[in-house]
Structure 1
Amino acid sequence: MPLPDFLVIGVPKAGTTAIHAALSRHPQLFLSQVKEPKYFLSDGPPPAWRGPGDVQTSQEHVWRPADYEALFDQAPPGALRGEATPFYLYDLDAQNRIRRLLPKARLVVLLRNPVDRAHSNWTHLWAAGLEPERDFVRACALEESRRAAGWAHFWHYVSQGLYGEQLAHLFELFPREQVLLLRYRDLRDDPVATLDRVCEFLEVETGLLDVVPAQNVTPFVADTRPNAVLRAVLRTGGRFGQHFPVPARRAVRGPLLTLLQRERGGRAKLTPAERAAVLPYFTSDIARLEEVTGLSYADWLTVGLEPDVID
């Protein structure tokens, strides 16, 4: 069966789209054209998530085995097959499914400061018109009620950043030599060396990838009254869009998003006050992450501002 030899399994908003695009250019690697097929997130049809836009996202899951295998049919002989779904690390059941089907798979994990990751996640959904809460700190505080209401993984701003818990489970399933841990800042600051580390881990030729394409950069969306109306319309479409064909949804949603994201400017910066308010969600798990990995993540405990991003 044409199944993957390696997976990029985490984490969202940490450069996984960029690294997928970069690795796709390597002649000895074949990555599925569908980025984030989400196959291991369910046994059978995906859950009926209830957050804004979640139903349409669930419809994009590649959950049938034959459809998933077909993603790798065109791999050249001898090429290593792979895919990137950054929710696999967070979803412990997905980890179990990977272990059952692909016990020898090599797994690539990119970790990002969990506060910055959460803010980037919130910014992404805000710019898409789906996030109704204009205050990032408040959106994090709403997570428990949102999870109880059945909102999908991408809304779990805090829980997705509990890497210590997630890696502890992963290392119970896979030997550590099958897992490559990277830091987002390494991909951002030294992309060529980071890509070479991935290629060395996958045992393919190094020195062939010299750029990380800019991918999935969240645009600027101001908090204005006209934009509030556009976001409300987009969220309404997110609730009812599943009843219409995908081309029709895109034909309506595309112009609305273009209008919402019409202004130029930098994304809203995470302030030291916001960082200080959200950091306590993660402090104990950062300690666990250091215990699990034997690495230091002490820089994540500061309230300084993160440099420019690539996600």
Structure 2
Amino acid sequence: MIGAPKAGTTALHSALRQHPEVFTTTPKEPKYFLCDDAPPPDWRGPGDRHSQQEWIWRWDQYERLFELAGSQQQRGESTPFYLWSRSAHQRIAERLPDVRLIAVVRDPIDRAYSNWMHLWCDGLEPVGDFEEAFARQQERMAAGWAPFWRYAGLGRYGEQLQHLYRYVDRERVLVMRYRELVDDPQAAVDKACTFLGITPGLVEEIPRDNSRAYVEPGWRPQVFGPVVRVGAKLGQFVPPEIWRRASVPLIAQLSGGGEAHRPKLAAEARERLIPHFADDIALLAELTGESFDEWLSSESRGSFLERKRLSDSLSEPA
């Protein structure tokens, strides 16, 4: 699975992992094709260097991730940044000429908001206003921050697919929609299984998306946020699991240990952000033959859990 980040790839990966005819790697996101048989780029955003310790950048190491796969199993991994990375497209095509790729796309504004929320609730995003953080993409790119900070760039799926199709035949790329995972999870998993050539109907449910407790703006992120960011910076000097364990109580302090309601993005904010994506949404529609006009709406569709509750309520008998 090649993307997109915060579009349901973790949930779909977890569902396919349960299938007896599928073998998936540990770690889930080896990120090999973001490299070129060389160490990862020197990303410099909060927490970037800590996370890079787990990147697999040598081909022999990457191959070993699949050693335990059964001879009849489909082998796969899920690095959601491959869809964004132009160089990954060519590397994948050259190394794996028969590859099958799954790209899950989500309303790019909702995706960007979820992306920001993920980093904000982990204490890594220092800017507590989504639109302000969104506007800093170019500044952060110039400073060498990793792809996950590209709130706009990661959601331009039309450009990404257009480039991907130069290297990989369209019939070997399945483009799915986030709403499919929400509205009919079993049908979505079966669609992926059929595409992969494995038996549908063997996975009955899809795990919930990897959401986090909401962090209210206020004294908690002002006090604990800088501590988390310093800790993540120091974490590059120790094994990844050490900082991961140490960060758990700090991140819990950020949210107060609760499950605070995540506010939807205001309609006015969506209206201001739509121009960043309108041309790419049109390109995506042209490439796929599907309409994505609902992404031009000022109405936010909310988090996975909010959408799932709404979908379930609409499907209940009157």
TM-score range, shorter-chain basis? over 0.9
Residues 54 and 240 in structure 2, CA contact (< 8 A), matched pair in contact too: no
2:109 to 115, 138, 143: 115
**4+ runs deviating over 4 angstroms:** none
Which of 134, 153, 175 is the matching residue for 2:128? 134
C-alpha distance in 1 between matches for 2:123 and 2:276: 26
Alignment check: 8 A CA contact 2:264 2:302 kept: no
Q: Does 1:37 align with 2:1?
A: no
Alignment of 1:20-99 (within 5 A): 20-43=13-36, 44-99=38-93
Q: Is 1:151–2:145 an aligned residue pair?
A: yes
Structure 1, unaligned stretches of length 5 or more?
1-7
Tell me, yes or no, if the aligned pair for 2:51 and 2:240 is still in contact at 8 Å.
no
Aligned to 1:285, which of 272, 280, 283?
280
Runs of 5+ unmatched residues, structure 2: 308-318
| Structure 1 residue 308, shift from structure 2 partner | 4.1
- After superposition, give the CA deviation of every residue in 1:200-253 in whole Å (9 maximum; x if it has no partner): 101111111110011411221111213321011111122232123334323432
TM-score (norm 2): 0.92
Structure-to-structure mapping, 1:220-231, within 5 angstroms: 220-231=214-225
Once residues 69 and 253 of structure 1 are traced to their aligned partners in structure 2, the CA distance between those partners, rounded to angstroms, is 31
- Check conservation: 1:89, 1:166, Cα contact below 8 A: yes
Shift of 1:307: 4.3
Whether the 8 Å contact between 2:29 and 2:77 is mirrored in structure 1 is yes
- Give 1:132-211 correspondences, 5 Å limit: 132-211=126-205
CA distance in 1, matches of 2:253, 2:68: 38
SS of the counterpart of 1:9?
coil
Q: Does 1:237 align with 2:234?
A: no
What letter is aligned with 1:129?
Answer: G
What is the deviation of 1:187?
A: 0.8
CA distance in 1, matches of 2:135, 2:94: 35
2:186 and 2:298 map into 1 onto residues whose CA distance is: 28
Does the residue aligned with 2:144 lie in a helix, a strand or coil? coil
CA 1:121–1:308: 2 relative to 1, 3 Å: closer
For normalisation by structure 1, the TM-score amounts to 0.94
Question: In 1, are the aligned partners of 2:123 and 2:225 still within 8 Å (CA)?
Answer: yes
Farther-moved stretch of structure 1 (291-300 vs 141-150)? 291-300
- Look up the match of 1:305: 300
Corresponding position: 1:11 with 2:9: no
CA contact (8 A) 2:33 2:82 kept: yes
Judge conservation of contact 1:199–1:205 (CA < 8 Å) in 2. Answer: yes
CA 50–86 in structure 1, closer or farther in 2 if over 3 Å, else same: same
Worse-matched range after superposition: 246-255 or 91-100: 246-255
Shift of 1:291: 1.6
Structure 2 matches for 1:267-282, cutoff 5 A?
267-282=262-277
Asked if the contact 2:232/2:243 (under 8 Å) is kept, the reply is no
- Asked if the contact 1:140/1:278 (under 8 Å) is kept, the reply is no
- Deviations 1:2-24, CA, capped at 9 Å, x for gaps: xxxxxx00100011001111001
Residue equivalent to 1:5: none
Selected match of 2:119 from 118, 125, 130? 125
Shift, 1:199, TM fit: 0.6
SS of residue paired to 1:22: helix
**What CA distance in whole angstroms lies between the structure 2 residues aligned with 1:198 and 1:106?**
10
Report SS of the residue matched to 2:166.
Answer: helix
